[in-house]
Chain A
Amino acid sequence: MIDSAITVETRHLTRRFGPIVAVRDLNLTIAQGEVFGLLGPNGSGKTTTIRMFCGLLAPSEGTAIVAGVDVRESPDLIKERIGYMSQRFGLYEDLTVAENMDFFAGIYGLEGPSRRGRIAEVVSFLGLNRRLNQLAGTLSGGWKQRLGLACALMHRPPVLFLDEPTAGVDPAARRGFWSTIRTLASQGTTVIVTTHYMDEAGRCHRVGLMSQGHLIALGTPDEVATQVGGKSLEDAFIILQERDEQEQDA
């Protein structure tokens, strides 16, 4: 039986691309309603990990269970239970805000009155009312990001993946976005987010730092900061990452 309070669980999760090990022996448990930050430099294995969680890449070894579904066994079923939003605006710029939402609601299998009802709900939750007939391509970064979130939330996914969601968004919009994320989490949605911004990492319940394909630190932001006796999360990351690279070289 899968513990209902646990939304993501991996055991010895590994992914190879030929001779390169992109993700190595990852063991991770994320609880329902948690905001979990996955951090690390480019090439550290964050994206590969998220892609395995989304059913886009099969693990080479080990298991990952996301929202009660084994990613290796049912990669298609997973897609009905997750929402995904990437740093790159993945919506249609030549469609209006309303058309984008209508499209994604349809793709997630919502029909008729339930589709209209859910769209209205999401629109009021994210405050998109006055933008409905605007072409998505003409929105500012912050509004694009809200629309992206709206489309990813159409089917009420228990797990939400955000890949660098605030890249290119102004500070005020970022703050608003994070309070929305916390609201979602308090309502029971598990949020897994990758980010470069340290202040954002500090807003997560827990963070995991990845370097060269494996996890080098895991815990609340405070725990990770004090783990190396550093003053801040940022200092801790730099120290841990350098230590990891020296170990690899040795």
Chain B
Amino acid sequence: MKRFGPMFRKEFIQMRRDRLTLGIMVGIPVIQLLLFGFAIQTDVRHIPTVVLDESRTPTSRDVIAAFQNTGNFRIVTHVDGRATLDAWIARGDAQAGIVIPQDFPRDLARGTTATIQVIVDASDPLSSQAALAAAAGVAQVRNLAILSAAAHRNTLPLETRVRPRYNPGLRSPNYIVPGLVGVILTITLVLVTAMAIVRERERGTLEQLIVTPITKTELMLGKIAPYVGVGLVQMTTVLLLGRFVFDVPLTGNVVLLYGVAFVFIVASLALGLFVSTLVRTQQQAMQASFFFVLPNILLSGFMFPRQAMPAFFQWIGAFLPLTHFLKVLRGILLKGVGVTELWQEMAILLLFATVLIALSVRRFQKTLD
């Protein structure tokens, strides 16, 4: 391994000299974090809502206020007829409509079931679900009040007490930021190393390298080593911004986290190297990296829960290093757990790193001929 040193030094100088790429690698985490952290909120609030109040009574106004007070509905206008209400939703100016029929106060007074109609634009499932849940909640609260008054009780017969552990405020940033560490490392590191071997090939420097006594392993390790440092800087940036801008806790053992991150970074770089041995041009390398990156974002559990996926896609997700690293990130950062709970994920990541490096070294040999 005596030629690892010169190779590492050369890659380091080249990396330092390529200011644009270096700037992008440090800039991307910051921009992504701010975008994801501020823009992405999985809990949908303030859905623009139109109201058609056919009864126009204090009772109906009271109900409308109850909808508004949930915080999920933002009433944008009152309309006079059903056609106008439909038009608002069709245009997309409103995503929900509340219709209170003329009979509403009468039915309520009589004790027959009074109906409120809630129309939601379900072309966006996430916000329509929030609207449906909130609407059901409004009715439930009212029902309880009316029924307990009728039964002359002021205590509830039954209550479930939900304790949201590890993220008591159910805050989106707590979920997104740890995941983002993994996603940013995957995207930037795979792309950068995917270019590594191809660039040497395109520039003709590989031809010179392969007639020297450098071994494939020295070449591969020397190439990825400087980027391990870049990966650790990226991770630190995201964690610090997450902590101080989005108030995401760092609950567990940070040293352990960096140890696992090191293995994950090596695995991502090795994946990039592997891509690099499959392609012939830098453009192909770019396309192939995106091909690898997309499933990482969709199937790893970064944004969409893996439990909700069909078994086949869960199975594919299990072959992505990011899937396992996300469990470690969330486990250590939010739950404060350690090796006892996470050793399996750690072992899998180590396996990924080893296998991917071995595969790249093997593939590289064939491309010499």
Contact = CB atoms under 8 A, between A and B. Distances in A.
Given A94-B18, A106-B3, A109-B2, A84 B9 contact: no
B263 to A, nearest CB: 28
Interface residues of A, number: 31
A99 interface: yes
Interface stretch (B42-50, B134-142, B171-179, B210-218): B210-218
B103 interface: no
Given A80-B213, A84-B208, A99 B13 contact: yes
A108 B212 CA distance: 7
Contacts of B204: 86, 88-90
Interface in B1-41: 2-3, 5-7, 9-10, 13-14, 17-18
B205 interface: yes
Contact of B3 (A55, A86, A107): A107
Interface in A80-126: 80, 82, 84-86, 88-95, 99, 102-109, 111
B161 interface: no
A103 B14 CA distance: 12
Given A54-B211, A88-B207, A90-B207, A95 B3 contact: no
B10 A92 contact: yes
- Of A54, A82, A90, A161, which is in contact with the most chain B CB atoms at under 10 Å from its CB? A90
A134 to B, nearest CB: 14
Nearest to A82: B211
B207 A86 contact: yes
Contacts, number: 71
Contacts of A103: 6-7, 9-10
Contacts of A88: 204, 207
A132 interface: no
Interface string B282-321: 0000000000000000000000000000000000000000
A10 B10 CA distance: 37
Contacts of A94: 14, 17-18
A20 to B, nearest CB: 14
B203 interface: yes
Dominant secondary structure of chain B at its interface with chain A: helix
Contacts of A55: 211
Contact of B208 (A80, A86, A108): A86
A86 B9 CA distance: 24
A64 to B, nearest CB: 15
B10 A95 contact: yes
Given A76-B213, A88-B207, A89-B204, A102 B6 contact: yes
Given A76-B213, A79-B212, A94-B17, A107 B207 contact: no
A81 to B, nearest CB: 9
A233 B291 CA distance: 56
B208 A91 contact: yes
B211 A95 contact: no
Contact of A57 (B10, B208, B215, B369): B369
Contact of B212 (A57, A89, A93, A107): A107
Contacts of A93: 203
A108 B3 CA distance: 8
A109 B10 contact: no
Interface string A51-72: 0001111000000000000000
Interface of B: 2-3, 5-7, 9-10, 13-14, 17-18, 203-205, 207-215, 368-369
Top 5 A-B residue pairs of the complex, sorted by shortest distance between their CB atoms: A106-B6, A90-B208, A84-B211, A88-B204, A79-B213
Given A89-B204, A95-B13, 19 more contacts: A55-B211, A79-B212, A80-B213, A86-B204, A86-B207, A88-B204, A90-B204, A90-B208, A90-B209, A91-B208, A92-B14, A94-B18, A103-B9, A103-B10, A105-B6, A107-B6, A107-B213, A108-B212, A109-B2
15 contacts: A54-B211, A56-B210, A56-B368, A79-B212, A84-B211, A92-B14, A94-B18, A95-B10, A95-B14, A102-B9, A103-B7, A104-B212, A107-B209, A108-B213, A109-B213
